[in-house]
Amino acid sequence: MNRTLKTIGAIFGAAGLLAGLLLCNFYVSFGYGGWTGFFAELRSLPGEEKLAALRSEAIDELTQAQVELGSVPGLTLSEKTFSDMCAKGEHSWKRSESYAYVCAYRLTYYYGLTRDYKEILLDLEQTLGNLGWSIGEQTPRQPTISEALREYSGEIFLVELPYYRKPVSTGRALVLALNGFYGNSSYWTKSSSEPDPFGFGIGIGQKIYKNASSQSPQTIFQRIIAAGQEAIMIAISKEYFRN
C-alpha cells in the first residue's frame, strides 16, 4: 500500500514538474522570444568609460581607412560626417534579437572630383583590393564595381555599387559603402539625414544613445555639385560593441 502511494506520489510529482517546466518555457517564449532572449535581458551595457575607449578605437580605425582611400588621385575632401549609436535588443514573442546591446559608429567622407568619375571608381576598386577589402557576401552575388559600370545602361551616377568588408584584429569587420549607406536602400542624394549606422533595422524605443552630424547628405552633395564638381561619398562603419 505504501509502495503504491509512493508510486502515485512520484507520478504526480513528475507530472507537476513537467507542467511547471512547460509553463516556464511558455512564459520565456512569450515574454522573451525564447531562452536566448531571456539570457540577453540579463546582460548589461558596459560603463561609459569602457564604451568611450571602444568608440575611440573604432574612430581611429575608421579614420585610418578613410585616409588610405582618400589617397586615390582626383579626390578632394569636401566634408566629413559621423553617426554614433547604441541600441538595446528587442526580446519578445513578436521579435527576438540575438544581442542584448549593440553600438556602432560610421564615418563618412564626401569628395569632389578633379578627374573622370568612372576612372576614379575603377581606381577605388583596385585600391580597395590592394588594401584587403573584399566585396560583402550576399545572395544574389554583388557585382564588382567594374561589372556594375559595364552592365548599367542608365545614368552612371545612379549605378548601384557593391559594399565591402575588411576584417580587423580588434573585433567585428569594417563595412564600406560607396555613394550610399550600408543596409539602406535610399540613394544618398535624397537623404535629408544620415540613417542609423548598424545596417539593419532598429525598432521603436530600442535606441538608447545617439550622436550624429546635423548636416544633410543631400545638402552636402548639392554643395559639391554647385562648386562645379562631381561627387563621391565613402561611408565606413564598425560595430564597436555587441553582447
State the Cα–Cα distance between residues 221 and 230, nearest whole angstrom: 9
Three-state DSSP class for residue 70 = coil
Residue 49 pLDDT: 92
Residue 215 pLDDT: 86
Chain centroid to Cα 17, Å, comes to 43
Average pLDDT, the chain: 81
State the Cα–Cα distance between residues 208 and 154, nearest whole angstrom: 41
pLDDT at 41 over 70: no
pLDDT, tens only, 77-133: 999 999 999 988 776 666 667 788 889 999 999 999 999 999 999 999 999 999 999
Q: Identify each DSSP E strand in the chain by its residue range.
A: 75-88, 101-113, 134-135, 163-168, 171-178, 207-212, 231-242
State the Cα–Cα distance between residues 198 and 238, nearest whole angstrom: 8
State the Cα–Cα distance between residues 134 and 174, nearest whole angstrom: 11
pLDDT, tens only, 152-187: 877 787 788 889 999 998 888 999 999 888 776 555
**Minimum mean pLDDT range among 20-24, 25-29, 138-142, 195-199:** 25-29
Most confident of 9-23, 25-39, 88-102, 113-127: 113-127
Side chain identity, residue 22: L
As a whole number, mean pLDDT of residues 210-228 equals 89
